Structure 1
Amino acid sequence: MKLLSLNLGRAEVSEHTSQPERVTGIDKRPVDGPVRVAAPGPKGVGASGVAGDAVCDTRHHGGDHQAVYAFAREDLDDWERELGRPLASGTFGENFTTEGLDVSGAKIGERWRIGSAVVLEVTSGRIPCSTFQGHLGEKGWVRRFTRKGAPGAYLRVIEPGETRAGDPIEIVHRPDHEVTVAFQFRAVTTERELLPRLLAAGDALHPEAIERARTYMAQQS
């Protein structure tokens, strides 16, 4: 398992974003590194956890629980075949394109060591938005991506440090519960009846998912 590509975005004007300044950093491009990874601060204040990476809409992106976004190269390859077009690493707006790692099968709270210093913890799956759809230029993309159920993972920074493309990835902790990234994604999108089961993941779960689960449970009582 390794970090195949380390990708950074810069702020660019886009008609597809609802961000007031009409800019987005979703178009990320590979860099060699090394690049520092550190906790950026709370959502709404902090942006990307990857130095040099632009996160423009801090209402919905960035912050400590979405400090890094990872997507598997194997899933990009699958989308290449399905869409009939090449998809470079970083095309889905991911900071880390991994190889040999089942990203959407990772468990919430699972920890990865990347290189010798950085440790990250899985918090949630990525929810697709209109900016993502506009960036890809695929009609009905949000629905299609949701139906696929392989969203990639957001991670928070446990131990900061520098990393670069080619660094090995090691799973150093895997929790004993059922809540994978794909499970969490289905619960907050298409299978809301799963929401109560998300709480088994504990405090590692993204706070917004915890809130959704608790609200759902209150509505059912």
Structure 2
Amino acid sequence: MTGRLVAVNLGTVTEAEWAGDASGRSGIDKRPAEGRVPVTAAGLAGDFIGEPAHHGGPDQAVYAYAEEDAAWWAAELGRQPRPGVFGENLSTWAVDVTGAVVGECWAVGSALLQVTKPRTPCRTFAGFWGVPDLIKRFTLRGAPGAYLRVLREGEIGAGDPVEVVDRPAHGVTVGEVFRATTLEPELLPRLLDAPELPGPLREKVRRRLAG
């Protein structure tokens, strides 16, 4: 299956009282970049990450959000979100981000990316949007976007095809992981079928099942 990148977005430094880190700075405000953007194992070149303890790192190097889901929020909130306003690096079109299987690989530009897990909304997200109950509404919507790790470094840009080149047979999706870790804990055992699930999240699931 092939979709495309609508935009590649890089974080700018935002200082606000709702920003999550101790310095009061956040990189959630991402803006479309021009031209080709280098992708490394650490993420996109020039992307500011304000909370490295919770964002970024190999398993969260790149964050993708679907324009189709952005359109739903436009109708829900009565505003037109621009690319990057969900804090996403990749604004996609015709890519089933919620239905992406953990471990599936996307060929984008000259890079190869692998889906790892969903994004969990936080108070920084709600503060940036100015919607106090956004975390609850985002959770109920169940379309969280997907984090990706970089298997092959390269360059990407707006308009690039997004091609799913490999999909694991276990079938555990980003949407299932999100529902299991938020509103539907009965799905937690299913997550252990996905060996590509990041280690810290896998251990969290095991602890919850053991408790």
Question: TM-score interval w.r.t. the shorter chain?
Answer: over 0.9
Give the total of aligned pairs. Answer: 209
Distance in 2 (alpha carbons) for counterparts of 1:144 and 1:96: 22
Q: Does 1:83 align with 2:77?
A: yes
Distance in 2 (alpha carbons) for counterparts of 1:151 and 1:213: 18
Shift >4 Å, 4+ stretches: none
TM-score (norm 2): 0.97
Distance in 2 (alpha carbons) for counterparts of 1:89 and 1:3: 10
Post-superposition shift, 1:217?
A: 2.4
Q: Give, as a single letter, the amino acid of the residue that structure 1 aligns with 2:24.
A: R
Q: Give, as a single letter, the amino acid of the residue that structure 1 aligns with 2:111.
A: V
Post-superposition shift, 1:65?
A: 0.2
Post-superposition shift, 1:87?
A: 0.3
Q: Give, as a single letter, the amino acid of the residue that structure 2 aligns with 1:149.
A: G
Q: Which residue of 2 aligns with 1:101?
A: 95
Percentage of pairs with the same residue: 49
Q: Which residue of 1 aligns with 2:32?
A: 30
| Residues 134-173 of structure 1 mapped to structure 2, 5 A cutoff | 134-173=127-166
| Residues 1-150 of structure 1 mapped to structure 2, 5 A cutoff | 1-40=3-42, 49-115=43-109, 117-150=110-143
Which one of the candidate residues 206, 210, 218 is aligned to 2:198?
206
Secondary structure class of the residue paired with 2:44: coil
Structure 2 residues not aligned, in runs of 5+: none
Structure 1 residues not aligned, in runs of 5+: 41-48
Q: Is the Cα contact below 8 Å between 2:98 and 2:146 reproduced in 1?
A: yes
For the aligned residue pairs, the C-alpha RMSD in angstroms reads 0.9
TM-score (norm 1): 0.92
Q: Is the Cα contact below 8 Å between 1:110 and 1:171 reproduced in 2?
A: yes
Per-residue CA deviations over 1:45-99 (Å, capped at 9, x if unaligned) read xxxx010000010111100000000000010011101111110010000000001
Distance in 2 (alpha carbons) for counterparts of 1:207 and 1:56: 23
